[in-house]
């Protein structure tokens, strides 16, 4: 269906704010441009505010370079309050007499400090906290960047009358990380980034013309490592080992030097789809392919899936980030665990390719998903409806009340919402990777999480089918921040002994014990063993660092306390997640299973764990990422100590230059 075939009635004036030129089809994979086209096609009048001027660029880039050189950290100058407030003043000036009904942007952050009579709205693919936590970076953001980014995001969310995300994953993570009214947060997917699409008849012909004697795979991405290029190559190699002839086209990047490519591999390093020729080449590549294979390590909302579906191409991708919001297994592709490699993809491809009728149905339903859901026409209509719903006197009055009050923000205390937000940034993704492993091994019917925080791990167990669960933590955990039903949460001060009148199939306590005083350690382990015969336990090791750590100990310290209660240390999980970038390094380093001896001997389904019992083997390990983090902190603390020793005005002068 072409854009604008059935526009929403009424002409709405939208002030469209962008930090770059809205017509730049290369910026943000062209989504800013597509949003403009989609809203305009529905009858909206677009008034551009941008590109916004970066008057602070030079001094802030200098500050960024100092952070990199001195601290080894990436200081994100684009998040500096001075820059974002400069943006805000430009927006306010532009809309003051514009007659716009609403202020809209493809980024929440450019609206962080805007004060205007019009309601604010944005449409994006992830919040700042999730972006930092989820995407791998060669250098971690500086502490100042984290503060600036989270404050800017919270300010934008507090001011916005409407927030739209491209996936439920992005919406849910925003609710986990920030204080925001869930009713104002919505999900609308993106569409394909093509100017013109094939007709349904042309796509049907392309599907029918795909050969039955050779399976054509297409890997399409710029970032070879993050997009899982090596897994795609391994999948082709595994298909050859199964005797299935296949061809793999790698487009958009070049494999790293030294990569051995199987026969039948073609590399097209770059395709500029912003040109008519490049778009045609890309569409032809997709149309002739049986599958798009993109085993991404991290992705918010890759529009290439929408593009593949628009040409009747099923997508094979990783069950991570916002991808499940695009790919529905059995409808327009298949999803694989992050831990799966090429052989697992090859198993699926071989079976699907062998069933020609089943493949054709999958290809046709992929096209239908594009026509029904994953297109800019449908999404543009929905976004305009949402924008019109907030453009009324009641919405403006509510917005004015927000603007004249202090934006919501977490209070500072030992275990404040900022503390739990920091945990949430890594816990959610870690839980999504670890919990399925535990459920597959232990098949628990019930679980208790001691020190559950806002219930992120408990919620993941629920998504894996373990609905009988209880989370326990202090009364300082706000009920409106829980991500599980409040009935599944029990407030209890963990410094005091814990007694419940029931047992659970599984107990977990992750990075909690170090927050308790040393004199509580022994009884805390006793409390856990009273709750379950199987315990998943992790606690910070010496010099790990963190908020309010009172008892950092090596694993042997805890193993001895469990052993006195006839629980054995089973080092089964760490080898499985040690190299998994979706799991926070402290979980990869510290998490050990403790199993009651009699249960380990009597349960046949746990027989395989015997090979992983510690039996005197050293449990203490330091993960390389934790070592590097400690080294960076030591360097930074050393510089601060030097500045302190300088004293007085000299310390302030030098420290001010360096931003410490």
DSSP H or E segment with residue 376: helix 376-390
Q: Residue 556 burial by CB count (10 A; 0-12/13-18/19+): exposed, middle or buried?
A: middle
Q: How confident is the model at residue 424 (pLDDT cuts 50, 70, 90)?
A: low
pLDDT, tens digit (0-9, with 9 covering 90-100), for 26-59: 777 889 999 999 999 999 999 999 899 887 788 8
Fold that domain 200-372 belongs to in CATH: Rossmann fold (3.40.50)
Look up residue 393 and give its DSSP letter.
H
Q: How far apart are CA 506 and CA 485, in angstroms?
A: 19
- At residue 412, the pLDDT reads 36
Residue pair 259/291 in contact by the 8 Å Cβ criterion: no
Average confidence (pLDDT) over 522-533: 96
Average confidence (pLDDT) over 576-593: 91
Residue pair 629/596 in contact by the 8 Å Cβ criterion: no
Percentage of the chain beyond pLDDT 90 is 63
Closest to 568 in 3D by CA, of 592, 591, 601, 594: 594
Residue pair 182/175 in contact by the 8 Å Cβ criterion: yes
Strand partners of residue 268: 251
Average confidence (pLDDT) over 427-452: 91
- At residue 134, the pLDDT reads 86
CATH class of 13-191+378-403: alpha beta
- At residue 21, the pLDDT reads 81
Residue pair 72/632 in contact by the 8 Å Cβ criterion: yes
Q: Which two tokens stand for residue 438?
A: 């535990």
Does the pLDDT value for residue 411 go beyond 60?
A: no
Mean pLDDT check: name the lowest of 2-11, 158-167, 427-436, 585-594.
2-11
- At residue 573, the pLDDT reads 94
pLDDT, tens digit (0-9, with 9 covering 90-100), for 50-95: 899 887 788 878 877 877 777 777 778 888 888 999 999 999 999 9
Q: Which two tokens stand for residue 267?
A: 């590399």
Torsion over CA of 404, 407, 408 and 414, rounded to 10 degrees? Answer: -130
* Domain residue ranges of the chain, discontinuous segments joined by +: 13-191+378-403, 200-372, 417-622, 628-658
- At residue 654, the pLDDT reads 38
Closest to 495 in 3D by CA, of 476, 511, 473, 470: 473
Would you say the pTM of this structure is higher than 0.95? no
- At residue 426, the pLDDT reads 65
Same fold, 13-191+378-403 and 200-372: yes
Mean pLDDT check: name the lowest of 266-275, 426-435, 580-589.
426-435
- At residue 427, the pLDDT reads 79
Q: Number of C-alpha atoms within 13 angstroms, CB side, residue 469?
A: 26
Does the pLDDT value for residue 195 go beyond 90?
A: no
Q: How far apart are CA 192 and CA 315, in angstroms?
A: 14
State the average pLDDT for the chain.
86
Does the pLDDT value for residue 546 go beyond 80?
A: no
Closest to 511 in 3D by CA, of 469, 455, 552: 552
- At residue 54, the pLDDT reads 85
- Cis amide prior to 51 (ω within 30 degrees): yes
Q: How far apart are CA 266 and CA 263, in angstroms?
A: 9
Q: How confident is the model at residue 503 (pLDDT cuts 50, 70, 90)?
A: very high
Q: How far apart are CA 399 and CA 390, in angstroms?
A: 10
Q: What is the CATH number of domain 417-622?
A: 3.40.50.150
- At residue 649, the pLDDT reads 39
């Amino acid at each position: 269906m072409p854009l604008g075939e059935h526009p929403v009635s009424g002409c709405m004036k939208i002030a469209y704010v962008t930090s770059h030129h809205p017509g730049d089809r290369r910026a943000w994979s062209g989504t800013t441009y597509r949003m403009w086209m989609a809203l305009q096609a529905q009858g909206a009048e677009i008034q551009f505010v941008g590109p916004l001027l970066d008057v602070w660029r030079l001094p802030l880039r200098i500050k960024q370079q100092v952070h990199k050189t001195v601290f080894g950290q990436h200081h994100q100058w684009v998040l500096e309050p001075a820059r974002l407030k400069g943006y805000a003043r430009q927006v306010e000036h532009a809309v003051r007499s514009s007659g716009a009904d609403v202020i809209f942007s493809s980024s929440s952050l450019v609206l962080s400090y805007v004060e205007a009579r019009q309601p604010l709205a944005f449409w994006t693919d992830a919040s700042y906290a999730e972006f930092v936590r989820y995407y791998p970076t060669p250098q971690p953001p500086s502490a100042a960047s984290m503060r600036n980014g989270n404050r800017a995001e919270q300010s934008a969310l507090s001011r916005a009358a409407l927030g739209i995300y491209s996936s439920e994953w992005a919406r849910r993570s925003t609710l986990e990380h920030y204080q925001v009214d869930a009713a104002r947060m919505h999900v609308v997917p993106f569409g394909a980034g093509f100017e013109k699409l094939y007709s349904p008849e042309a796509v049907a012909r392309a599907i029918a013309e795909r050969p039955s004697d050779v399976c054509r795979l297409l890997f399409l991405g710029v970032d070879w490592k993050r997009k899982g290029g090596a897994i795609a190559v391994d999948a082709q190699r595994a298909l050859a080992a199964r005797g299935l002839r296949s061809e793999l086209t790698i487009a958009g990047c070049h494999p790293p030097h030294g990569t051995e490519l199987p026969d039948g591999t073609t590399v097209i390093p770059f395709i500029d789809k912003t040109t008519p020729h490049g778009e045609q080449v890309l569409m032809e590549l997709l149309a002739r392919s049986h599958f798009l294979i993109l085993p991404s390590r991290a992705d918010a909302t890759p529009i290439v899936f929408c593009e593949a579906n628009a040409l009747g191409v099923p997508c094979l991708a990783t069950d991570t980030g916002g991808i499940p919001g695009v790919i529905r297994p059995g409808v327009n592709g298949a999803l694989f665990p992050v831990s799966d490699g090429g052989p697992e993809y090859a198993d699926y491809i071989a079976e699907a390719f062998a069933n020609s009728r089943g493949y054709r149905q999958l290809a046709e339903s992929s096209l239908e998903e594009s026509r029904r859901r994953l297109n800019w026409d449908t999404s543009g209509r929905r976004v305009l409806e949402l924008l019109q719903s907030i453009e009324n006197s009641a919405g403006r009055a509510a917005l004015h009340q927000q603007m004249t009050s202090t934006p919501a923000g977490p209070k500072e205390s030992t275990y404040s919402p900022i503390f739990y937000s920091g945990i949430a940034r890594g816990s959610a993704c870690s839980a999504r990777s670890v919990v399925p492993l535990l459920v597959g091994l232990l098949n628990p019917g019930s679980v208790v999480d001691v020190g559950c925080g806002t219930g992120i791990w408990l919620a993941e167990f629920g998504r894996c089918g373990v609905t009988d669960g209880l989370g326990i933590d202090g009364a300082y955990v706000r009920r409106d921040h829980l991500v599980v039903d409040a009935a599944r949460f029990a407030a209890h001060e963990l410094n005091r002994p814990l007694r419940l009148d029931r047992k659970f199939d599984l107990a977990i306590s992750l990075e909690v014990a170090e927050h308790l005083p040393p004199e509580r350690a022994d009884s805390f382990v006793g409390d856990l063993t009273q709750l379950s015969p199987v315990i998943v336990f992790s606690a910070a090791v010496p010099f790990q660092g963190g908020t309010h750590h009172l008892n950092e100990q090596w694993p042997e310290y805890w193993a001895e306390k469990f052993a006195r209660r006839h629980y054995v240390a089973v080092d089964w999980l760490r080898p499985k997640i040690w190299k998994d970038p979706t799991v926070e390094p402290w979980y990869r380093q510290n998490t050990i299973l403790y199993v009651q001896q009699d249960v380990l001997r009597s349960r046949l389904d746990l027989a395989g764990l015997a090979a992983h019992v510690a039996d005197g083997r050293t449990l203490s390990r330091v993960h390389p990422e934790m070592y590097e983090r400690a080294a960076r902190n030591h360097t930074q603390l050393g510089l601060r100590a030097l500045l302190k020793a300088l004293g007085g005005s000299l310390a302030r002068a030098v420290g001010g230059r360096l931003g410490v």
